Chain A
C-alpha cells in the first residue's frame, strides 16, 4: 500500500486502513504538544468579561466548580468529564503508549490502555467545547466587554492538534507492536 493511501470496504465504503507515514513520530510530537496546550488551557482563564469595572474571568475548572455550586451537579459532572477528564486521560494514555514505542519497546498493559482509549474516545469533546466558547463569546460581546483569556487560544490549538493526532495515530501500528511482543515472549 502506498504511503498515505487507504483501503476501503467494498460493501459500505468505510475506511479500512490508512497507511500513515511516520505515524509514531508524528503522533508522539502531536501528543506532547497537545499535552502542553492542555495544561495551559486549564491553568489560565478562558474568557473574561467586564462591565463598568466589575469583571469576572474563569478557567474551565472554575466554570465547572461554579456550576456545581449552583446546584447543578449532573451538568457540572458532564462538562467536567467531556471537556477535562476524557481529553486529559486520552493524552496521558497516549503518552504512556507512545513514549516507550518511540524508544522501541512495548509498555506493559498496552492492550488494557488501548481498550480504555477505544472506550472513552467518543466522549472527548474538546472541539465541541471550542465551538461552545465561540458561541458564548458572540452571545456575551453584545452586553459586556470581552477579554479573551490565554486558554482561549490554547483550546483552539488543542482542538487542531487533537484533530491532527486523530488522523495521524495509527492503531494498527500499536497492535502490530503488541503482536510482535506477544509473539516474542511466546504468548
Chain B
C-alpha cells in the first residue's frame, strides 16, 4: 500500500509487463524438491508405523461408567498399562455402558473368550481394602487373562473384582450349607488356623433347601483337601462351659467379623485321595458336628417301645456297645387302633459306616441289600434296640443297640417307611426283674443250716490249734541241745581258719621286707625304661647321632 510515482499516461490495462514463465529446470530447482520428498517419507513412515503398532480395539460393557473417562482411563494387567479407553457411550438398549478401548499390539494375545474385565476403584470389603492407588491415580480397568483358545473382542465387564484370578493356582470346591450365617463372598477359609482360601460365590440351590457355596483353596494347601475332608462354619466364637471348664474357640478375629470356614481331614484308618476340582462337600455348623460325622450314608429306622420314654430327647445318642452310631430324630406317641395300646415311636438315624465290616474293604459302594441281609442275620441272633439310662441322677435315656440272648424272635419290618427295628424293653423294667430275682434267690438260701455248720467248723479248728501248740513245745526241749553242741564245733573250726588268714595278711602287708624289695626293683626298672625312651626320641630326630655323637645345643 505504498505510493508509486509513475509517468502519466498509463492506461488501465496497457503496459503490463508479461510475466516471465520460467520453464527452465536447473539443478537448484530439482534440489528443492528434496524437501517435500523428505517430508513425505517422514510422514508416510510415521503413519505406517502408527498403523502397524495399533493393537485391536475391544468393547466392554459395564452397568455404570463411573470413573471411566475417554482418553484417560487405562486398562492394566498386573499393574502394567496395556490399553486406553477411547470412548464411553450408552448402549442402544440403554441398559449398559459400552466402553471402547484400544489395546496395545503386544497385549492382543490376552483377549481370550474368558478374559475378564472389571473397574478397579477404592473398595472396602470385609476382609481387605483394595485399590487405594486409584484415589490418586484415577480409576482403571483391571484385567484377568483367561485360558481359552478363542479370541474375543466384545466383553461384558464384571461389576466387582473377582475374588480369585485365573492365574492363582489352586482348586475350587462346592459346599452345601443349610444357611449362610455370616458368610459372604470373600470370607476366609482356614486350615489349622492358616488362611488358605476364600469363598468365591454363593447362591441358593434350585430346590431352595440349601445354599451352594463355591470356595477356592490356594495351592499348595489344596492338596490337604481329601475326599473325606470335613468343612464347618468357623465364624464367630465357640464358647462352651461344661464339667471340664470353659472353652473359647475361635479361628481368628477376621472370621469373627467376616465369618469363615475351616476344614480338617479326620484321622482315619485309611488315607483318602485328594479331592478333585469341584467336588461337593457338606458344610457343618461347628467343629464338633463336623468331626463327629464322618458319614455319608444315613439310614433311618423306627423303634416302637411300650414303656415310658421320659428322659429321651431328640438328639440322644444311639449307642452300640459304647460307640455312638446314630441319634434320635423323632419321638412320637401313637395309638394302635387295633390293640388300643399306646406305642412310643422313636425314629433314629443310623450311620452304618460307623460299624465297619471286618473285611477292611472300603464301603463306598455297599449295596443296601447286603446291609439288609446283614441286619436280618444280626436280628436273628438277638440284635435289638433298648432304652437305657444314661444318667441315673437326671434320668436321661439313650437308645442302646446290642445282642440280647434269650429274646423272643423278631424280624425287621422292611416295608415300613422307615423300617422298624425290633426292640426289647428297657433298662428299668429289667432292673426290677433282676432285683426281684436276686431277692428270690436270697430267700431260698438255707441260712440256719449254714449257720450251724459254721459253728461246728469253728470248734474243730480250735482243737487243731491246741495240738499244734503242744508239738512246738516238744521241739523246743529235745531237739535244741544237740544242735547247740554241733554249733560249738563249727565255731572252733572257724577260729582256726581265721588265724591262718591273719598270717597271710601279714606277709602281704605293706611294710613286709619282701614287698619293699619288690617295690625298689620296680622303680629302677621304670627309670631305665624312661631313659631308653628319651634316647629313642633323640635318635628319631637326629639319626646321625649314632655315628657323630650328641650335638651341643645350638641356640
The tally of residues in A whose CB lies under 8 Å from a CB in B reads 39
The answer to whether B137 and A36 have CB atoms under 8 Å apart is: no
Interface size grouping (class) on chain B: 20 to 34
Inter-subunit contact B2/A30 (CB<8 Å): no
> Chain A at the B interface: mostly helix, strand, loop or mixed?
helix
Minimum CB–CB distance for A10 against chain B, Å: 8
B16 CB, min distance to chain A CBs, angstroms: 6
**Which residues from chain B contact A43 at a C-beta distance below 8 Å?**
46-47, 50
Once the chains are docked, how many angstroms separate the CA of A156 from the CA of B445? 133
Does B40 make an interface contact (CB < 8 A)?
yes
- Residue pair A30, B42 in contact (C-beta under 8 Å): no
Please report which residues of chain B, range 11-53, place their CB below 8 angstroms from some CB of chain A when the two chains form the complex. Answer: 13, 16-23, 25-26, 28-29, 32-33, 35-36, 38-40, 42-43, 46-47, 50
Q: Which of B2, B20, B33, B38 contacts A9 (CB 8 A)?
A: B2
Within residues 236 to 291 of chain B, which ones have a CB less than 8 A from any CB in chain A?
none
Q: B32's contact among A25, A54, A172, by CB below 8 Å, is which?
A: A25
Known: A12-B2, A16-B2, A37-B43. A176 touches B36 (CB 8 A): no
Instruction: Determine whether the beta carbon of B22 is less than 8 Å from that of A24.
Output: yes
Q: Decide yes or no whether A14 CB sits under 8 A from chain B.
A: yes
Q: Name the one of B2, B26, B46 contacting A40, with C-beta atoms under 8 angstroms.
A: B46
**A29 adjacent to B137 (CB under 8 Å):** no
Q: Which of A19-47 contact B (CB under 8 A)?
A: 21-26, 29-30, 32-34, 36-37, 39-40, 43-44
Residues in chain B near residue A180, CB distance under 8 A: 18-19
B3 within 8 A of A: yes
Cα A29 to Cα B32 in complex, Å, equals: 6
Q: Are A29 and B35 in contact (CB under 8 A)?
A: yes
Q: Shortest distance in angstroms between A185's beta carbon and chain B's nearest beta carbon?
A: 14
Which residues of A are found within 8 Å of B42, using beta-carbon distances? Answer: 36, 40
B138 CB-CB contact with A under 8 Å:
yes
Report the bound CA distance from A131 to B42 in whole Å. Answer: 23
With CB as the reference atom, state the residue of chain A lying closest to B31: A29
Contact at B32–A36, with CB atoms within 8 Å?
Answer: no
Residues on the A chain within 8 Å of B33, using CB: 25, 29
Nearest neighbor of B28 in chain A, beta-carbon distance = A22
Residue of B nearest to A187 (CB): B13
Which A residues are in CB contact (< 8 Å) with B23?
104
Q: Which residue of A lies closest to B3 (CB)?
A: A11
By secondary structure, the B interface counts as loop
B residues in contact with A183, CB < 8 Å:
13
Contact B29 A22, beta carbon cutoff 8 Å:
yes
Q: Which of B78-134 contact A (CB under 8 A)?
A: none
A172 to B, closest residue via Cβ = B19
Provide the residues of chain B in CB contact with A44, threshold 8 Å. Answer: 46, 50
Find out whether the CB atom of B16 lies under 8 angstroms from the CB atom of A33.
no
Contacts of B35 in A (CB 8 A): 29-30, 33, 161
**Contact call B43/A36, Cβ cutoff below 8 A:** yes
- Kindly state the separation between the CA atoms of A5 and B3 in the bound complex, as whole angstroms: 20
Closest to A31 in B: B36
Tell whether, in the assembled complex, residue A176 and residue B137 are in contact, meaning their CB atoms are under 8 Å apart.
Answer: no
A177 touches B2 (CB 8 A): no
**A36 lies within 8 A of B39 (CB):** yes
Contact between chains at B29 and A177 (CB < 8 Å): no
> What chain B residues lie within 8 Å of A24 (beta carbons)?
22
**Cβ contact of B138, chosen from A33, A39, A54, A104, cutoff 8 A:** A54
Decide: B2 and A11 in contact? CB cutoff 8 A. yes
A157 to B40, CA, bound (A): 13
- Contact (A9, B39) CB under 8 Å given A22-B28, A25-B29, A180-B19: no
Contact indicator B18/A25 (Cβ below 8 Å)? no
Query: What separation, in Å, do the CA atoms of A162 and B399 have in the docked complex?
Result: 107
> How near does chain B come to A38, taking the closest CB pair, in angstroms?
10
In contact, B18 and A176 (Cβ under 8 angstroms):
yes
User: Closest approach, in angstroms, between the C-beta of A69 and any C-beta of chain B?
Assistant: 11
Report the bound CA distance from A161 to B36 in whole Å.
10
A111 and B29 alpha carbons, distance in the complex (Å) = 27
Contact A32-B39, Cβ < 8 Å, known A9-B2, A25-B29, A26-B32: yes
Contacts of A172 in B (CB 8 A): 19
In contact, B22 and A33 (Cβ under 8 angstroms) = no
- The smallest beta-carbon distance between B82 and chain A, in angstroms, is 14
Are B40 and A173 interface neighbours, CB within 8 A?
no
From A101, which residue of chain B is reached at the shortest CB distance? Answer: B21
Contact: A54 with B2, CB < 8 Å? no
What is the chain B residue whose CB lies nearest that of A157?
A: B39
Identify which of B19, B43, B46 contacts A179 (C-beta below 8 A).
Answer: B19
By beta carbon, the residue of chain B nearest A39 is: B43
B30, chain A: closest CB distance, angstroms: 9
Cα A53 to Cα B133 in complex, Å, equals 11
| Residues on the A chain within 8 Å of B43, using CB | 36-37, 39-40
Interchain CA distance A36-B33 in the complex, whole Å: 13
- A46 CB to closest chain B CB (Å) equals 14
Interface residues as binary, A164-187 with B (CB distance below 8 Å gives 1, 0 otherwise)? 000000001101110110010000
**CB–CB A54/B137 < 8 A:** yes
- Which among B29, B50, B137 has the highest number of chain A CB atoms within 10 Å? B29
The smallest C-beta distance from B403 to any residue of chain A, in angstroms, reads 79
Closest to B133 in A: A53
Inter-chain CA distance A32–B16, complex, in Å, is: 31
The answer to whether A150 has its CB under 8 Å from any CB of chain B is yes
CB of A150 within 8 A of CB of B46, answer yes
Question: Which A-chain residue is minimally distant from B24 (CB atoms)?
Answer: A22
Known: A33-B39, A150-B46. A25 touches B21 (CB 8 A): no
Q: Is the CB of B36 within 8 A of A173?
A: no
Pair B36/A33 contact, Cβ less than 8 Å: yes
Q: Tell whether, in the assembled complex, residue A104 and residue B46 are in contact, meaning their CB atoms are under 8 Å apart.
A: no
Chain A: minimal CB distance from B301 (Å)? 70
Quick check: B16 and A179 within 8 Å, CB to CB? yes
B6 nearest CB across to chain A (Å): 12
Listed by A's residue number, 8 A-B pairs whose Cβ atoms lie within 8 Å are: A11-B2, A25-B32, A29-B32, A43-B46, A44-B46, A173-B19, A176-B17, A177-B21
Binding site for A on B (CB under 8 A): 2-5, 13, 16-23, 25-26, 28-29, 32-33, 35-36, 38-40, 42-43, 46-47, 50, 71-72, 137-138
Q: Which residues of A contact B (CB under 8 A)?
A: 9-12, 14, 16, 21-26, 29-30, 32-34, 36-37, 39-40, 43-44, 53-54, 56, 62, 104, 150, 157, 161, 172-173, 175-177, 179-180, 183
Known: A16-B4, A37-B39, A175-B19. 15 other contacts (CB 8 A): A11-B3, A12-B2, A29-B33, A32-B40, A33-B36, A36-B42, A43-B46, A44-B46, A53-B137, A54-B138, A161-B39, A177-B21, A179-B16, A179-B19, A180-B19
Top 5 A-B residue pairs of the complex, sorted by shortest distance between their CB atoms: A176-B19, A33-B36, A32-B36, A33-B39, A36-B39
